[in-house]
């Protein structure tokens, strides 16, 4: 079975002490993670080592960075390199989140560069893709997201693409309270898998976890995760509430 993943994206939230408390409240619950389950906490850079220490002895729990530089090193004040993440044993990293694409003008080519650096260090990229409202309203979301995959991922070999986790985020449903219907989520996830299959074959495509990331909550996670091509969620606001994120973890297949 493909990895079923509950990934928390804290974004730019919580103080250090609040982050410690939240992690403690979640981790003290014995969630009985199955072998095919993974729980990932994408925390702000200053909290990576603290979070890593809290989860080191736990099985199936991982810490992710929320971003990395597309440059290996050098005079890039304020940036964090893949080598830096590797040096503190961080093995997951979100790239291409819609907020990074919009606010920091990250291009598909830049994300391809980040992917290459991450894979060189065996760090799992959580690659975000998704369409804004105007694209959805024009009914061109399939070709829009297909282009994101092709321009950022399709230079990878079959062995490399299997190391990537994809997160589909309908941008119009992030932080808006709107959620894609289960039919819309499944339809896009199935399309993404078909695009991967056309490039790499069905066998490879069936191994890649595709997460849904658009206002996942405790009360809708089970229904969304039940879709056959949805392999968990990349969770924003609900991941900042321990009881809510615990329910989301429990909702994994």
Alpha carbon distances (Å) from 168 to 12, 25, 83, 209: 20, 28, 27, 11
- Catalytic entry in 38, 97, 106, 131: 97
Euclidean distance between CA atoms 145 and 51, whole angstroms: 32
The H or E element containing residue 17 is helix 16-27
Count helices and strands in the chain by DSSP H and E runs: 12, 8
38 phi and psi, to 5 degrees? -135, 140
Active site residue 160: no
- Catalytic entry in 37, 106, 169, 189: 169
Active site residue 97: yes
Euclidean distance between CA atoms 243 and 186, whole angstroms: 26
Residues labelled as active-site residues? 97, 169
């Amino acid at each position: 079975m493909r990895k079923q993943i509950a990934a928390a994206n804290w974004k730019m939230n919580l103080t250090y002490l609040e982050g410690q408390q939240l992690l403690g409240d979640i981790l003290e619950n014995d969630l009985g993670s199955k072998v095919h389950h993974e729980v990932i906490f994408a925390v702000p850079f200053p909290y990576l080592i603290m979070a890593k220490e809290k989860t080191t002895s736990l099985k199936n729990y991982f810490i992710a960075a929320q971003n990395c530089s597309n440059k290996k090193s050098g005079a890039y004040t304020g940036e964090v390199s893949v080598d830096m993440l590797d040096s503190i044993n961080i093995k997951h990293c979100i790239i291409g989140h819609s907020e990074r694409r919009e606010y920091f003008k990250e291009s598909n080519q830049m994300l391809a560069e980040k992917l290459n650096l991450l894979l060189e260090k065996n760090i799992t990229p959580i690659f975000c893709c998704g369409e804004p409202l105007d694209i959805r309203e024009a009914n061109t979301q399939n070709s829009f997201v297909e282009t994101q995959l092709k321009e950022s991922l399709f230079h990878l070999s079959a062995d490399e693409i299997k190391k990537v986790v994809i997160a589909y985020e309908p941008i119009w449903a992030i932080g808006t309270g709107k959620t894609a219907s289960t039919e819309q989520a499944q339809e896009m996830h199935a399309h993404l898998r078909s695009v991967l299959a056309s490039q790499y074959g069905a066998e490879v495509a069936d191994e890649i976890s595709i997460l849904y990331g658009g206002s996942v909550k405790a009360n809708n996670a089970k229904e969304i995760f039940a879709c056959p091509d949805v392999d968990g969620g990349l969770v924003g606001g609900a991941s900042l509430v321990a009881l809510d994120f615990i329910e989301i973890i429990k909702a994994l297949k």
